[in-house]
Amino acid sequence: MLRTQASSLLRKSLVRSSPAVVSRAASTHAISNPTLANIEKRWEGMPLQEQADLWMALRDRMKGNWNELTLQEKKAAYWIAFGPHGPRAADPPGSGARIAWGVFIGLGISFSLFAMTRAFANPAPHTMTREWQEKSNEYLKEQNADPLTGISSGLAPRGMIQSPPKGN
């Protein structure tokens, strides 16, 4: 009974004190070296809850004076924060070749679809022939169409002709 009252009083006093005091009081002991040993090799295999607990303990230790951190704690904190795991993990070998093959296959399919579309497409409409476009130019000049900037002004020499003349 007396022990529970003393612990509740201690908790209340810690809660009322400043956050710096709480973090110093909570992080006075170092994390054991066996816990941090070979963290680089063990991190991926650790359960998520254990990873979170270890990171929280390291975070609490880092809130205090960094001169009090052990070398193992500093190395573990750096590796957990910036190590090649999770989204920073290296791509597995062969993924570049797989991507290149996917691009080549996609380009091949696109080219074959384009070629088949062109092969089975209807011919161009009769209005797209050069003769039709030249006659359209003559008609527009006769009608004096767009006299300020268009074909009748001489500023648009090609007029309705869509493609350059043969030989250019």
Provide the residue ranges of all domains of the chain, joining segments of one domain with +. Answer: 33-86
Tokens 């809850």, located at residue: 49
Tens digits of residue pLDDT in 123-168: 989 998 999 999 999 999 999 988 888 888 888 778 888 876 665 5
Structure letter (DSSP) for residue 141: H
pLDDT for position 36 = 84
Amino acid identity, position 108: G
Is 60 exceeded by the pLDDT of residue 2? no
pLDDT band at 28 (very low <50, low <70, confident <90, very high): low
Tens digits of residue pLDDT in 74-125: 888 888 888 888 777 888 888 999 999 999 999 999 999 999 999 999 998 9
Under 8 Å between Cβ of 59 and 26: no
Q: How far apart are CA 31 and CA 61, in angstroms?
A: 9
For 46-54, what is the mean pLDDT?
90
Give the residue with greater pLDDT, 161 vs 17: 161
Give the residue with greater pLDDT, 21 vs 63: 63
pLDDT for position 46 = 87
Amino acid identity, position 65: N
Three-class secondary structure assignment of 85-136: CHHHCCCCCCHHHHHHHHHHHHHHHHHHHHHHHHHHCCCCCHHHCHHHHHHH
pLDDT for position 23 = 41
